[in-house]
Amino acid sequence: MRLTELEIENYQKITLVQFTVKRGVTEIAGPNGAGKSSALNAIAVWLDGLRAAPAEPIRHGALRSRIRGRLGEMYVIRTIERTKKGELTTQIKFEPVGEKAYPVTQKQLTDLIGEHNLDPNDFLGLDVKGKFDAMRAFVPGFDFAKCKQLNDADYSRRTEANKLAKDSEAAAELITIPPGTPTESIDEQALVRELQEAGQFNTELEARRNRRSQVAASAQCHRDAAAVHLAAIEQVRPAKLQEHATWLAGQQAEIAELEQKIAAIRTRITAAADQAEKSIVEGENEIRAQAAAATAEAERLEKLLADAGELPIAKNADDITARINQARATNALVRRAEERARHVSTAKRYRDESEQLTASMEARETAKQKAIGDAQLPIAGIEFGDGEIRYNGVPFEQASTAQKLTVAIARIVALQPKLRLAWIRDASLFDDDALATLDRLAQEFECDILIETVRPVANDAVVLQDGHVRAAEAPQPQAEAVA
């Protein structure tokens, strides 16, 4: 559908304006305050209703505004009135060509024409991010922001992983390992335990040696005691005999005086002799028993010594100590080898992580390019960078005026292929090349473009003055234009 006729009555500065929208570019010209902007604003209200209306859309002194446009094979008429309470209201109806008019709702009109954006400058005036967001709407189902966020995070992590891998590789290169270094450590603790056990063994061995010396000495003491006891036996009889002789002499000295007691004394003598003999025998037996006990103890101890056998040779602690020192030196090399292996493994792990991150970023880029390839973009050549759009390989902000207009017009047509209409305010700033570009774009995209100028450029311009259309004047020479 294309807008072909437009009639605006009592809207802002316009009293009554009627003109035909031609195929291609339609120029609306006039001095400031003539109603050019009011005409374009009226089209926006005609399409979108009060949401696009200014605070005072009705011309001062009028009761209502009326905008009537032919859209395809029907007229769409919108009226705007203010209630007694001062509130704005609007009504809309369709008037098919050749048939009776019937009412229509704003929703029906919106459903008919769909989403639209008539001014390319609305797009061109956006910042880099705004343009990016506006274009990515044509690629549904792909989250560019999340993709960039994940890629930025992966890129940062990949940079860190590559640095860590490089650091680990450098650390591994600094560790030199002599040839023949074992791959496993020697158990130093086992050698230390062996050294401790050897020390304990040797200590116990020395204690056993000392105990044996003590036992031998004790046995000798017992033999010496036995010899002393045996030697004492020879002295028992003489001593007892001497004691008896002395006593006997005393007794014989009394014989004379004690003749009457001789029988008794003789009895006592006999008993005393028997008792002395018995005492001698008991003394000898006791000493012999002591000697026998001492001899038996000596023999027992000597047998223990004989049965114990030879003492073992003491263990060489110096050899174990040397082995421990060698094990420590070897283990130090093993630890260096293990440390180097850890650095190499760490470097590989970070390299693998870097490759995985690269693969993830490439996969996202592939998915993004597929989504872009599957999308219905307004025009070929649109590319999506990191937060910016590019056109034909060039950042959009660096594109020419013609290229920017091409993309902007293509976007308008893509947003609403049914309503093939656009407008450009302040087209007085356009030079001849830009105006020629607009003509070309109108033909290329089969759309109609309304442009707003101060001085008419074309002979068929719609010239407004004081809220009305007046006959177009001959084109005036333009001042130096700004592209």
CA atoms of 390 and 122, how far apart (whole Å): 18
**Range of lowest pLDDT (133-137, 261-265, 390-394):** 261-265
Cβ contacts of 238 within 8 Å, gap of 6 or more: none
Residue 184 binned pLDDT confidence (cut-offs 50, 70, 90):
confident
Q: What is the pLDDT of residue 355?
A: 94
Distance of CA 118 to CAs 8, 20, 159, 182, Å? 18, 18, 45, 80
193 and 279: one domain?
yes
302 and 170: one domain?
yes
Instruction: Report which of 15, 7, 90 is spatially closest to residue 51, judged by C-alpha positions.
Output: 90
Residue 259 binned pLDDT confidence (cut-offs 50, 70, 90):
confident
Please state the rounded mean pLDDT for residues 181-197. Answer: 86
Given a cut of 80, is residue 103 above it in pLDDT? no
Q: What is the pLDDT of residues 206-242, one digit of tens each?
A: 888 888 888 888 888 888 888 888 888 777 788 788 8
Q: How many other C-beta atoms lie within 10 A of the C-beta of residue 453?
A: 23
Burial class (CB in 10 A: 0-12, 13-18, 19+), 380: exposed
Residue 282 binned pLDDT confidence (cut-offs 50, 70, 90):
confident
Q: Bridge-partner residues for 384, per DSSP?
A: 389
Strands 382-384, 102-103: pairing is unpaired
188-253 vs 317-374: helix axis angle to the nearest 10?
150
Q: What is the pLDDT of residue 279?
A: 84
Residue 474 binned pLDDT confidence (cut-offs 50, 70, 90):
very low
* CATH value at residue 88: 3.40.50.300
Asked if 87 and 55 count as a contact pair (C-beta separation under 8 A), the reply is no
CA atoms of 464 and 29, how far apart (whole Å): 6
Is 14 a member of any domain?
yes
Q: Mark which of 295, 319, 351 sits at the end of a domain.
A: 351
CA atoms of 173 and 177, how far apart (whole Å): 10
User: Which residues constitute the domain of residue 321?
Assistant: 156-351
Given a cut of 50, is residue 472 above it in pLDDT? no
Q: Mark which of 351, 378, 406 sits at the end of a domain.
A: 351
Is 136 a member of any domain?
no
Instruction: Report which of 45, 85, 86 is spatially closest to residue 65, judged by C-alpha positions.
Output: 45
* CATH value at residue 212: 1.10.287
Given a cut of 70, is residue 449 above it in pLDDT? yes
317-374 vs 144-173: helix axis angle to the nearest 10?
150
100 and 194: one domain?
no
CA atoms of 74 and 108, how far apart (whole Å): 14
Is 90 a member of any domain?
yes
CA atoms of 278 and 368, how far apart (whole Å): 131
Asked if 456 and 476 count as a contact pair (C-beta separation under 8 A), the reply is yes
Residue 100 binned pLDDT confidence (cut-offs 50, 70, 90):
low
CA atoms of 141 and 131, how far apart (whole Å): 18
CB neighbour burial string for 106-140, b if at least 16 within 10 angstroms, e if fewer: beebeebbeebebbbeebbeeeeeebbebbbeebe
| Strand order, beta sheet including 382-384 | 382-384, 389-391, 394-395
Is 460 a member of any domain?
yes
Q: Bridge-partner residues for 69, per DSSP?
A: 6, 76
Q: What is the pLDDT of residue 359?
A: 94
Q: How many other C-beta atoms lie within 10 A of the C-beta of residue 1?
A: 16
Burial class (CB in 10 A: 0-12, 13-18, 19+), 61: exposed
Residue 101 binned pLDDT confidence (cut-offs 50, 70, 90):
low
Given a cut of 60, is residue 475 above it in pLDDT? no
160 and 96: one domain?
no
Please state the rounded mean pLDDT for residues 432-445. Answer: 90
Asked if 116 and 48 count as a contact pair (C-beta separation under 8 A), the reply is no
CA atoms of 44 and 40, how far apart (whole Å): 7
192 and 294: one domain?
yes
Instruction: Report which of 276, 281, 278, 254 is spatially closest to residue 265, judged by C-alpha positions.
Output: 254
Question: How many domains does the structure of the chain reveal?
Answer: 2
Given a cut of 90, is residue 116 above it in pLDDT? no
Angle at 106 between CA 105 and CA 112, to 5 degrees: 95
264 and 198: one domain?
yes
Is 307 a member of any domain?
yes
Q: Mark which of 351, 380, 400 sits at the end of a domain.
A: 351
Is 203 a member of any domain?
yes
423 and 483: one domain?
yes
**Range of lowest pLDDT (61-65, 206-210, 257-261, 308-312):** 257-261
Q: What is the pLDDT of residues 335-372, one digit of tens each?
A: 988 898 999 999 999 999 999 999 999 998 888 888 88
Residue 312 binned pLDDT confidence (cut-offs 50, 70, 90):
confident
CA atoms of 458 and 440, how far apart (whole Å): 15
87 and 162: one domain?
no
